[in-house]
Amino acid sequence: MGRNSEKDPNRPKRAQSAYFIFMGDFREKCKRTGEADTSNVTEFTKLASTKWKALNEEDRKPWDERAALDKQRYEREMESYHPPPGMGGGKARKKKDPYAPKRPKSGYLHYLEAFRAKHPELGHKEIVSKGAEEWGRLTDEQKVPYNKLYETAKEEYNAKMQAMVSKDH
């Protein structure tokens, strides 16, 4: 489901983590006792997370148990939940044909391959960041050999795809 898509109001509410249950309890306690200002969300969350981190495993146990019970409730409700038509969790992804040819590498990826060969001492992150920096500084004429490799590979790919499609039909 995307961010802007409609949600099923009858879908079971997700299980809360022990930390979220603790936050709710702590918020209620602070509202009753005035221990902390709950209107400033950022400050309150910092205070609550500090308190949570200070708890040892034994002190966290009540919230862990409540979270486990909530998780069981959620799983039980999800077993019997059937979404209405059109709300089945989004579009199913198209299955990739295992026999389909691999898509061709872009000119940039061909350049990175050559860059990696020139700089074997660099790690993966450095190759990607420095290679991207260098690629950005290249003129269009300097990029031509790499883009030609891409064009050649793209033509081969399209030919293989065309053969595969015509074989299926």
Give pLDDT tens digits for 48-61: 999 999 999 999 99
pLDDT band at 169 (very low <50, low <70, confident <90, very high): low
CB within 8 A of 43, min separation 6: which ones?
36, 37
* Main-chain dihedrals φ then ψ at residue 124, nearest 5 degrees: -60, -50
Structure tokens at 92: 């199913």
Q: 95 near 141, Cβ under 8 Å?
A: no
pLDDT at 88: 63
How many whole angstroms separate alpha carbon 156 and alpha carbon 148? Answer: 12
Q: What is the pLDDT of residue 1?
A: 46
Locate 2 and state its tokens: 């995307």
Closest CA to 130 of 147, 111, 143, 149: 111
92 pLDDT higher than 80: no
